[in-house]
Chains A and B, each alone.
Chain A
Amino acid sequence: MDYRESFEVIVVGGGHAGTEAALAAARMGRRTLLLTHNVETIGQMSCNPAIGGIGKGHLVREVDAMGGLMALAADRGGIQFRTLNSRKGPAVRATRAQADRVLYKAAVRQAVENQPNLFVFQQAVDDLLIEQDQVAGVVTQMGLRFRAPSVVLTVGTFLGGRIHIGMDNYQGGRAGDQPSNALARTLRERPFRVGRLKTGTPPRIDGRTIDFSRLQEQPGDSPEPVFSLRGDRGMHPRQVSCWISHTNSRTHDIIRGSLDRSPMYAGEIEGVGPRYCPSVEDKVVRFADKDAHQIFIEPEGLETHEVYPNGISTSLPFDVQIELVRSCVGLEQAHVTRPGYAIEYDYFDPRDLRPSLETRCIRGLFFAGQINGTTGYEEAAAQGLVAGINAARQVRDEEAWTPRRDEAYIGVLIDDLITRGTREPYRMFTSRAEYRLMLREDNADLRLTPVAHELGLLDDDQWQAFERKREAIAREQQRLQDTLLRPSDLDPATAQRVFGGPLKREQHLDQLLRRPQVSYPDLMSVPAAGPGVDDPQVAEQVEIQARYSGYLERQQDEVARGRRLEHLQIPDALDYAEVRGLSNEVRQLLQQHRPATVAQAGRIAGVTPAAVSLLLVHLRRGSEQAATRHSA
Chain B
Amino acid sequence: MRPVRVRRSQGGVFVQPLPDTICAIATPPGRGGIGVVRLSGPEAGRYASRVAGRLPEPRRAVFRQFTDAGGQSLDQGLLLWLPGPGSFTGEDVVEFHGHGGPVVLDRLMRRLTELGARPARPGEFSERAFLNGRLDLAQAEAIADLIAAGSEQGARAAMRSMSGEFSRRVTALLQALTELRVHVEAAIDFPEEEIDFLADGEVAAKLRAVRTELDVVLATARQGQILRDGMTVVIAGPPNAGKSSLLNQLAGSDSAIVTAIAGTTRDVLREQIQIDGMPLHIIDTAGLRDSDDPVEQEGVRRARQAMQSADRILLVVEDAVGVGLVEQASLADLPEDLPVTVVRNKIDLSGRVPGVEEVAGKPEIRLSALTGAGVDLLRQHLKQAIGFSGGEDGFIARRRHLDALRRTAEHLSAAHEQLHAAAAGELMAEELRQAQQHLGAITGAFSSEDLLGEIFSSFCIGK
Query: B430-461: which residues lie under 8 A (CB-CB) from chain A?
Result: 430, 433, 445, 447-449, 451-453, 455-457, 459-461
CB-defined contacts of B194 to chain A, threshold 8 Å: 294
Contact A85 B4, beta carbon cutoff 8 Å: no
Q: Are A617 and B15 in contact (CB under 8 A)?
A: no
Contacts of B105-145 to chain A: CB distance below 8 A: 121-124, 127, 130-131, 137, 140-141, 143-145
Chain A, range 573-605, C-beta contacts under 8 Å to B: 573, 579-582, 603, 605
Chain A residues with Cβ below 8 Å from B357 are none
Q: Once bound together, how far apart are the Cα atoms of A420 and B20, in whole Å?
A: 27
Given contact pairs A274-B462, A564-B19, A89 touches B425 in the complex (Cβ within 8 A): yes
Partner of A628, one of B2, B137, B151, B430: B137
Asked if A293 contacts B143 (CB within 8 A), the reply is no
In the bound assembly, the distance between CA atoms of A618 and B452 in angstroms comes to: 34
Residue A121, interface by CB 8 Å: no
A170 located at the interface, meaning its Cβ lies under 8 Å from any Cβ of chain B in the complex: no
5 A-B pairs whose Cβ atoms sit less than 8 Å apart in the complex: A277-B462, A561-B20, A617-B143, A623-B11, A626-B10
Chain A CB within 10 A, most for which of B9, B154, B447? B447
Whether A366 is near chain B, meaning CB under 8 Å from some CB there, is no
List the interface of chain A (C-beta within 8 A of B): 48, 54-55, 84-85, 88-89, 91-92, 131, 134, 136, 149, 274-278, 283, 286-287, 290, 293-294, 296, 310-311, 363-364, 394, 397, 399-400, 420, 429-434, 436-437, 516, 551, 560-561, 563-564, 567-573, 579-582, 603, 605, 608-610, 613-614, 616-628
Q: In the complex, are the beta carbons of A581 and B144 less than 8 A apart?
A: yes
Chain A residues lying within 8 Å of B456, measured Cβ to Cβ, are: 275-276
Per the bound structure, the CA–CA distance linking A311 and B460 in Å amounts to 11
Residue in B148, B151, B154, B452 whose CB lies within 8 Å of A580: B148
Select B427's contact among A48, A551, A582, beta carbons within 8 Å: A551
Q: Whole-angstrom distance between the alpha carbons of A15 and B1 in the complex? A: 29
Candidates B12, B20, B449, B453; contact of A569 at CB < 8 Å: B12
Knowing A564-B17, A581-B147, the reply to whether A610 touches B11 (Cβ < 8 A) is: no
Q: Is residue B8 within 8 Å, beta carbon to beta carbon, of the partner chain?
A: yes
Check A437/B426 contact, CB under 8 A, given A397-B5, A572-B8: yes
The docked-state distance in angstroms from the alpha carbon of A157 to that of B104 is 65
Report yes or no: A89 in contact with B18, Cβ–Cβ below 8 A: no
Contact residues in B for A276 (Cβ distance below 8 Å): 452, 456, 461-462
CB-contact partner of B2 in A149, A274, A622, under 8 A: A149
Q: A54-B189, A283-B460, A311-B463 are in contact. Are A88 and B424 (CB under 8 A)?
A: yes
Q: Are A84 and B463 in touch, CB under 8 angstroms? A: no
Indicate whether B267 reaches chain A with its CB closer than 8 angstroms. no
Known: A564-B19, A617-B130. A134 touches B4 (CB 8 A): yes
B:211-249 near A, CB below 8 Å = none
Partner of A620, one of B131, B141, B430: B131
* Closest chain A residue to B194, Cβ basis: A294
- Chain B residue nearest to A555 (CB atoms) is B430
B150, A610: Cβ atoms closer than 8 Å: yes
B190 at the interface (CB under 8 A from A): yes
Chain B 175-212 per-residue mask, 1 if CB under 8 angstroms from chain A, else 0? 00000000001001111111000100000000000000
B289 contacts A by Cβ under 8 Å: no
Question: What is the bound-complex CA distance between A605 and B449, given in angstroms?
Answer: 10
**Chain A residues closer than 8 Å to B140, beta-carbon distance:** 617, 620-621, 624
Beyond A364-B4, A571-B12, A616-B127, 10 additional pairs, beta carbon < 8 A: A88-B198, A89-B427, A134-B3, A290-B460, A294-B193, A432-B449, A569-B12, A580-B145, A603-B447, A613-B121
Docked CA distance A207–B453 (Å): 36
CB of A605 within 8 A of CB of B461, answer no
With both beta carbons as reference points, the residue of chain A lying nearest to B140 in the complex is identified as A621
| Contact flag A431-B188 (CB < 8 Å), given A290-B460, A437-B430, A580-B141 | yes
When the two chains form the complex, which single residue of B2, B15, B188, B421 contacts A568, counting CB atoms closer than 8 Å?
B15
Q: Given A84-B192, A276-B461, A286-B460, are A134 and B451 also a contact pair (CB < 8 Å)?
A: no
Task: Check if A431 sits within 8 Å of B189, measured CB to CB.
Answer: yes
List of A residues within 8 angstroms of B424 by Cβ: 88-89, 516
Number of interface residues of B (CB under 8 A): 70
User: B332 in the interface, Cβ–Cβ < 8 Å?
Assistant: no
CA distance A396 to B12 in the complex (A): 23
B144 partner residues in chain A, CB cutoff 8 A:
579-581, 614, 617-618
In the complex formed, the residue of B with least CB distance to A567 is B15
Measured in the bound complex, the distance between the Cα atoms of B151 and A310 in whole Å is 51
Cβ-defined contact, B452 with A429, below 8 A: yes
A623 near B121 with CB under 8 A, answer: no
CB of B427 within 8 A of CB of A310, answer no
Residue pair A54, B462 in contact (C-beta under 8 Å)? no
Complex: chain B residue closest to A134, CB-CB? B4
B131, A616: Cβ atoms under 8 Å? yes
Which residue of chain A is the closest to B418 with respect to CB atoms? A516
A571 near B10 (CB under 8 angstroms)? yes
Does the CB pair B452–A613 fall under 8 Å?
no
Residues of A within 8 A of B137 (CB): 621, 624-625, 628
Q: In the complex the two chains form, is B188's CB within 8 Å of A92's CB?
A: yes
Which are the 7 A-B pairs with shortest beta-carbon distances?
A: A581-B148, A610-B151, A275-B456, A287-B460, A310-B463, A580-B144, A277-B462
Bound CA span A79–B122, Å: 60
Cross-chain contact A516 with B421 (CB below 8 angstroms): yes
The CA-CA distance from A626 to B445 in the complex, in Å, is 35
Residues of B within 8 A of A290 (CB): 460
- Could you tell me the distance in whole angstroms from the C-beta of B458 to the nearest C-beta in chain A? 10
Q: Are A54 and B7 in contact (CB under 8 A)?
A: no
Closest to A570 in B: B12
Asked if B190 contacts A571 (CB within 8 A), the reply is no
| Residue on B nearest A96 in the bound complex, by CB | B192
Give the Cβ gap from A390 to chain B, nearest Cβ, in Å.
10
Contacts of A608 in B (CB 8 A): 151
Report how far A154 CA is from B40 CA in the complex, Å.
Answer: 50
For A564, give the chain B residue with the smallest CB separation. Answer: B17
Contact flag A581-B145 (CB < 8 Å), given A54-B190, A85-B188, A609-B121: yes
CA distance A287 to B194 in the complex (A): 15
Contact between chains at A568 and B463 (CB < 8 Å) = no
Given contacts A276-B462, A564-B15, A581-B148, contact A516 B452 (CB under 8 A): no
C-alpha spacing A364/B8, complex, angstroms = 14
Contact A296–B463 (Cβ < 8 Å) = yes
Q: How far is the CB of B232 from chain A (nearest CB, A)?
A: 35
B349 interface hit (Cβ, 8 Å): no
Q: Is B359 an interface residue (CB 8 A)?
A: no
A55–B188 Cα distance when bound, in Å, is: 10
B261 within 8 A of A: no
How close is A405's CB to chain B, nearest CB, in angstroms?
Answer: 11
Q: Inside 8 A of B150's CB, which chain A residues have their CB?
A: 610
A55 touching B2 by the CB < 8 A rule? no
B329: Cβ under 8 A from any A Cβ? no
- Return the chain B residue nearest A295 by Cβ: B463
- From the candidates A287, A432, A516, name the one contacting B448 in the complex (CB within 8 A): A432
How far is A605 from B3 in the complex, measured between Cα atoms in Å? 37
From A88, A400, A572, A603, residue with most partner B Cβ within 10 Å: A88
Q: In the complex, what residues of B have CB within 8 A of residue A613's CB?
A: 121, 123-124, 127, 147
* Contact between chains at B425 and A92 (CB < 8 Å): yes
A contact residues around B451 at 8 Å (CB) = 431
* A53 and chain B: residue at smallest CB distance: B192
Tell whether, in the assembled complex, residue B463 and residue A399 are in contact, meaning their CB atoms are under 8 Å apart. Answer: no
Q: How many Å lie between the Cα of A437 and that of B451 in the bound state?
A: 18
Q: Does B13 sit within 8 A of A, measured CB to CB?
A: yes
**B422 in the interface (beta carbon within 8 A):** yes
By CB atoms of chain A within 10 A, which of B143, B185, B190 has the most?
B143
Which residues in window 300-330 of B have CB below 8 A to A? none
Contact indicator B1/A149 (Cβ below 8 Å): yes
In the complex, chain B residues whose CB is within 8 Å of the CB of A287: 459-460
B381-435 residues at the A interface, CB under 8 angstroms: 421-422, 424-427, 429-430, 433
Complex contact A568–B14 (CB within 8 A): yes
Q: Roughly how many angstroms separate A313 CA and B145 CA in the complex, as a whole number?
A: 55
B418 to chain A, nearest CB (A): 9
